Amino acid sequence: MKEKNIQIATIGGGCFWCTEAVFQEVKGVETIVSGYTGGTVPGKPTYREICSGLTGHAEVIQLTFDADVISFQEILIIFMATHDPTTLNRQGADVGTQYRSVIFYHDDIQKQTAEVVIQELSEYYDASIVTEITAAETFYEAEVEHQNYYRQNTQQGYCSYVITPKLTKLRKLFADKLK
């Protein structure tokens, strides 16, 4: 049996519940952990602290994926298509730096790939892409109630009105990449 080519990606596209739900559908994604990174305060932040907008952290997911099944480039294309990378520090009604669009790269190849993807996709958007590309920092796992959130709360209002439409879009655009 061939060994898997496991790599890590860390991305933030607003609320981590949304981004997690999208990538739970994607072939080749092995694990997904919601969490926080990119902040300036020391120690592990809490959800409440993150929501204040004062820590500088972004809500992100950190996923492991089999690069022989799905490439980092494909992950970024799905990521960019399932959130609005043109709004600064906001996704829909979620406003603040914790909801910024960001790619935390783990090596120079990921950095270069992110730069190319953003450049190539920019022609498809009316406004400029504001997605940050920055080196990966310490990742803090979010509290247990934020893990697997959509699947455990599909009838909750936010899930119904925000996440379900993202999944519908995902299924339409990327059917060949889904489990």
Residue 41's pLDDT is 84
What's the CA gap between 128 and 116, in Å, rounded?
15
**How high does pLDDT run on average in the chain?**
95
Domains and CATH numbers, the chain: 6-177 (3.30.1060.10)
Among residues 15, 18, 51, 159, the one annotated as catalytic is 15
- Is residue 58 a contact partner of residue 102, using CB atoms and an 8 Å limit? yes
- Spatial distance between the Cα atoms of 12 and 88, rounded to a whole number of angstroms: 12
Q: How confident is the model at residue 75 (pLDDT cuts 50, 70, 90)?
A: very high
Average pLDDT over residues 27-46: 94
- In the residue annotation, 15 being an active-site residue is answered as yes
Please, which pLDDT band fits residue 55 given cuts at 50, 70 and 90?
A: very high
The whole-angstrom separation of Cα 125 and Cα 139 is 30
Q: pTM for this structure? A: 0.96
Strands of 26-139, DSSP E: 29-37, 58-66, 90-91, 94-95, 101-105, 132-135
